[in-house]
Amino acid sequence: MRQVVLDTETTGLETSQDHRIIEIGCVELVNRRFTGRHYHQYINPERDIDEGALEVHGISSEFLADKPVFAAIADEFLAFIEGAELVIHNAPFDVGFMDHEFAKLENFARTVNYCTVTDTLVMARQRHPGQKNNLDALCKRYDVDNSQRDLHGALLDAEILADVYLMMTGGQVDLGFGGQSQRGGDTGGESIRRLSTDRKTLKVLRATAEEVVAHEQQLARIERASSGQCLWLALEADSAVTE
């Protein structure tokens, strides 16, 4: 299962006013694991940026002046996301802007023709009705470190959303790894610590024959003391039947 967690920054809020994408950030997950692959691009929108948008993301027209236009990066961007499930917070906003950009080009279709889309905002509202469900609120709820998020940035937001999404869909709120988070800073000992994809394989230590015998003897004692209610033995019996 390939997923791409995606975020964009834009010149304003409305495509009807021809506002444009100025930054794209994507993080790749395969089978719910970070692969280390990402896509990040600043884009020259060929128009001014609204003051309100500038206050949110801090990306100026001067900074974008020498960046490529969307037409120049459309093929490589599509190659990165095509065939994936896109994971986006408030997906109609980002997908609407992507469709707006694709519509300006020849031989490009709408986003849903290339990808499926999962909206984490809808997911969060279903899990936490009546509560704040913006990305900052979800970081606090799921104890995901967003200490580097002074301004919005598409790649940083995509990385944070990936952590939130995995926590939201994994059935755990606190992994309790302790220590420092991968993004830096003291997390109080309860935030996500992302493991390196090139870490050494953990050794598998199997029980010795003596340990197996001791285990079986202990289960027998529990079975007698509980008048035949040892759950472990019941699970073993069920497993033997299904095999």
Q: Which of 114-123, 168-177, 208-217 has the highest mean pLDDT?
A: 114-123
pLDDT of residue 241: 58
Residue 19 annotated in active site: no
Catalytic residue among 38, 40, 128, 152: 152
pLDDT band at 230 (very low <50, low <70, confident <90, very high): confident
Distance (Å, rounded) from C-alpha 33 to C-alpha 36?
Answer: 9
Task: Look at residue 163 and tell me whether its pLDDT is greater than 70.
Answer: yes
- pLDDT digits over 99-125, tens only? 999 999 999 999 999 999 999 999 999
Using N-to-C axis directions, what is the helix angle for 91-103 and 120-127, rounded to 10°?
A: 170
Contact 164, 135 (CB under 8 A): yes
Long-range residue pairs from 214-218, CB within 8 A, at least 24 positions apart, any chain: none
pLDDT band at 53 (very low <50, low <70, confident <90, very high): very high
Judge if pTM exceeds 0.85: no
Task: Look at residue 176 and tell me whether its pLDDT is greater than 80.
Answer: no
**Within 10 A of 5 (CB to CB), how many other CB atoms are there?**
29
pLDDT of residue 149: 65
Of residues 178 and 61, more confidence is placed in: 61
